[in-house]
Each structure stands twice: as structure tokens, then as C-alpha cells.
Amino acid sequence: MQLKFKKVHSKAKLPTYGSPGAACFDFYAVIDPNPIFDDMDGIKSIKVGVPDTFRTGLQVEVPEGHVLLIFSRSGYGFVHNVRLTNCVGVIDSDYRGEIMVKLTKDLDVVSQTYVVSQGERIAQGMLVPIPRCELVEVRELGNTVRGENGFGSTGK
């Protein structure tokens, strides 16, 4: 299956799989020059508690009947306390705008900022088939052993 991408920025890089067994492919940051600080070309800092949006420079044609899910990179969270602000991005098959990634740095005693460089891997994506469900209102739902028992009801 092909997943078609269009570059909308000269610095954009097509996603790549990090290894033969990788479930997701990596998206790369596009960082425009900073007009205020000439010496900061190609880098952008994320401060604790101040989310920032990053360009990928890419548009995508998600096949009908599929969704492109965008996730945080494991190393970002475990090593740098950086995550996707919205936890999981959802790119529908009818969206054609640029893929953007908003990152948040959570409280960290080691470092109050994280620096993202031009071309750095900032997120990962997975193409997933989706069933189209008929949404039906009913008077009753089927019974289960668990029933309406909620949080913690199935044990540790």
C-alpha cells in the first residue's frame, strides 16, 4: 500500500521507518529561521509548560477507510519529558492540510527546556484501517459479568 505525501516546504523530509520492525514511521521537524534571533536558525526551544507547534512541511493523502494516527516518540517522553500536547493526533482521510505537531515539555528537574533542531524526528505515525459503524440507539444493552462496575473493578 502507498501513502502519498506532498512536500510544502523546501526543508521537508519524507517520513521513514527507523528499523525493519518499526510499527510507526517518523516525522521530521521543519524549523523556519527566527527573524528576531539570527543565531538561532534551525533550532526551536520548548519550555516547560509552554506548548509549541512544529511544522513537518508535509501534506498527506490518507486512503479512504483509513486514519493516520500521530504519536509521541518514546525517547521524547522517557528521556526528555516531551510529549504530543494532544496525546494522539488523528489525520482523517479527507484532510489535506499540512501535518503539524504540537509538543509540550512537562515538569523536569534536570532541564527546563528542550531544543528541537531542523530535521529532528518529532513524532511517529501509523496508518490504521477503520471500520465504518452504523450508530444505533437502543433501549437496552447486552449484559456482561463486569456490568457497570468502573475504575479498579477488575483488580490490579
| DSSP string of the chain, one letter each residue | ---EEEE-STT----EESSTT-SSEEEE-B----SS-GGGTTEEEEEBTB-EEEEEEEEEEPPTTEEEEEE--HHIIIII-EEETTSSEEE-TT--SEEEEEEEEPP-SS-SEEEEETT-EEEEEEEEE---PPP---S-----SSTT--TTTT--
- Whether 141 maps to a domain, the answer reads no
User: What's the pLDDT score for residue 36?
Assistant: 64
- Whether 19 maps to a domain, the answer reads yes
From the CB of residue 36, how many other CB atoms can be counted at a distance below 10 Å? 6
- Whether 42 maps to a domain, the answer reads yes
Q: How far apart are the C-alpha atoms of 71 and 24, rounded to whole Å?
A: 9
67 grid coordinates: 486514519
- Whether 64 maps to a domain, the answer reads yes
Q: Report the pLDDT averaged over residues 72-80.
A: 91
What is the separation of C-alpha 137 from the centre of its chain, rounded to a whole number of angstroms? 33
- Whether 36 maps to a domain, the answer reads yes
Q: How many domains does the chain have?
A: 1
Q: Label the pairing between strands 25-28 and 43-47.
A: unpaired
**Least reliable range by pLDDT among 40-49, 60-69, 77-86:** 40-49
User: What's the pLDDT score for residue 29?
Assistant: 97
**Residue 40 above 90 pLDDT?**
no
**Residue 28 above 90 pLDDT?**
yes
- Whether 22 maps to a domain, the answer reads yes
61/35: higher pLDDT = 61
**Least reliable range by pLDDT among 8-22, 53-67, 110-124:** 110-124
**Least reliable range by pLDDT among 2-11, 82-91, 122-131, 142-151:** 142-151
**Residue 39 above 60 pLDDT?**
no
Q: Report the pLDDT averaged over residues 58-76.
A: 96
User: What's the pLDDT score for residue 148?
Assistant: 85
- Whether 149 maps to a domain, the answer reads no
Indicate which CATH number applies to the domain containing 27: 2.70.40.10
Domain extent at residue 29: 4-129
123/39: higher pLDDT = 123
- Whether 154 maps to a domain, the answer reads no
